[in-house]
Amino acid sequence: MGKKYLLNVKNLNISWRLDKASVPIVCGVDFSLEPGKVLGLVGESGCGKSVTALSLMRILPKELKIEDGEILFNGHNGGKTVDIAKLKPKGEDIQKIRGGRISMIFQEPMSSFSPLHTIGNQIIEVIEIHKKTARGEAEEITINLLKKAGIADARDAVKRYPFEFSGGMLQRAMIAKALSCNPSLLIADEPTTALDVTIQAQILNLMRDLQREFGTSIIFISHDLGVVGQMADEVAIMYMGKIVERGPTKNIFKTPKHPYTIKLLDAIPRLGNLEDRRRLEPIRGTVPGLFNRPPGCIFHDRCDSYMSGICDSAFPDLREMSENHFVACYLYEKGEMDQ
């Protein structure tokens, strides 16, 4: 019997529409997510992680358009599968899913709350719309959520405005808001980027605890492999709008296959004995611009294992190296590296 997926993204293509051109942003992305699991989406800034996440809720900027692909979501209306890519961005169907069945934690919590309304009102409104509850009941749910999110004196906190909260408290409130309707899927778009290290650790522990309690599936987006290693069951590595490697987190960290993944891991500082320490190895070159996408494998111009006439011919297909561990690299097709 095959696996049951909450989310199955197939051949997702998103482009940036200009006056006389269409620039690819996300190119043929495929990934899936099982109920109750955490998927880490990793890559350098500008690789398409956030655009992919926004497409799952159909909140892309108007200049970006889904050109092709399917976003099959199985957590709607008692397990009914719906293709989100085919829903109208402002239609009634996606509005029922957005915020109710799929929620999102954004990078900057200050921009996620209106400065004109109290924290409580903004969470209560979400509950009233999606759960059809009375005002008093929605307020009690909000207070309990803020308590679970680690906000002291939650009954007083619901009456306060965003500017009265610190960055860490705002992020906790954002998590409470995202979980207010017990969504099937939570998208966390670099939720700890704007926080200091101590608060970052608290937020990650909070998300893990709440994820276990609510059984919510999470797509955790980050450029920090160390953070993803703590959170995710599976990891997908993105580069210039494509997934170059994906698989179980343990496999990705212990036996990375793609040269890009290997370089990312080499750039992570390690603690240990002095003899185990080594100089960090940056990835040579820079990420090409959107208008200068290289032919073939999009990483070939920065890769130490580049093979002329092969790597610059066409983008390689994802190949299964071991159970559920896929990599898109000609080195394995040609037998140039250990498998």
pLDDT digits (tens, 9 = 90+) for 50-90: 999 999 999 999 999 999 999 999 865 556 889 999 999 88
19-27 contact pairs (CB < 8 A, 24+) = 22/67, 23/290, 23/291, 24/241, 24/290, 24/293, 25/51, 25/64, 25/241, 25/290, 26/51, 26/52, 26/55, 26/241, 27/240, 27/241, 27/242
What is the per-residue pLDDT across 282-295, written as a single tens digit (0 to 9) for each? 788 888 888 888 88
Mean pLDDT on 103-128: 87
The number of residues in the chain equals 339
At residue 232 the predicted structure's pLDDT band, cuts being 50, 70 and 90, is very high
Q: What's the whole-model pTM score?
A: 0.88
Which tokens is 76 given? Answer: 């709607």
Contacts of 293 by beta carbon, 8 Å cutoff, 6+ apart = 24, 240
